[in-house]
Amino acid sequence: MSNSKILAYVCLLGLLFPILNCGTGHEAEEKYFLVASNIQVPYWQTAGAGFSQAAKDLKVRAEFVGPDTFDPKAQQQAFQKVVTQKPTGILVSSADPQLMKEDIDKAIAAGIAVVTMDSDAPTSKRLFFIGTNNYQAGVTGGQRLAKELHGKGNVVVFTMPEQANLQERLRGYRDALESTPQVKIVRVVDIKGDPRAKNVTRWTGSCVWKPRAAKKWPPCSATTRSRTRSSWLWTPIPTPWNGCAAA
């Protein structure tokens, strides 16, 4: 079972805990929601499967909702719609913690249990957070990166810089690399939540790639590499680099 699936399973158990602790038990008509953003990526598809399996095992109802792309405003709207259904509890990964704060507080005031996972909303009244210490994960990643590069090299980071938990992770990378000044982050690439962005690391070791507006991505293959640059859906930006990191 993958980490994201286990996390979602554990989170539903965590969401049930405060309800069970009140002595009311749980019943089949109870319903729980997982609200995230960019839910079509493999990470969230796996997490959603874990959430559904936990609900099945506990004999309660569950639903996984949110926008297909990274869209904090659309996630907020999905959360608001869920609250109107008066569910027993909500798990939410906050794409924008400040944007979600008021809605989480309103849900809590309405008697709906809310637990954050993966990306916290620490200033809200959520019951608790289950997830990674993203800053420390970044520090650990930065230390390992410096070791693998033997203390010298240029790095390109693939991330989603607008997402709060990934901001913390990138901050951890930067802080860790301060002690190794010859390892430099030369570019941060916004993958905009599309997991296929990882393909660009396979095409070349001398360029990073800037996405252009397009509906489809070319496959990573020798055929793709032999096409003219005008046919590529990513614009090459010459950037000598020795390694890459996913933050």
Q: Does residue 194 share a domain with residue 81?
A: no
228 CB-near residues (< 8 Å, 6+ apart): none
Measure the CA–CA gap between 95 and 53, rounded to whole angstroms: 24
Q: Buried b vs exposed e over 229-245: b needs ≥16 C-beta within 10 Å?
A: eeebbbeeeeeebbbbb
Helices 134-148 & 164-177 angle (0-180, nearest 10): 40
Enclosing H/E stretch for 157: strand 153-159
Q: For residue range 138-185, what is the model confidence (pLDDT) as tens digits?
A: 999 999 999 999 999 888 888 888 888 899 999 999 999 999 999 999
Last residue of a domain, one of 130, 150, 166: 130
CATH number at residue 77: 3.40.50.2300
Residue 214 pLDDT: 43
- The range of the structural domain enclosing residue 108 comes to 3-130
Q: In total, how many domains does the chain have? A: 2
Residue 82 pLDDT: 98
Q: Which pair of structure tokens corresponds to residue 23? A: 């002595």
Taking the chain (247 residues) in runs of 10, the rounded mean pLDDT of each run is 52 52 59 94 89 88 94 97 96 96 98 94 95 92 92 88 90 95 89 67 46 44 38 41 57
pTM (two decimals): 0.70
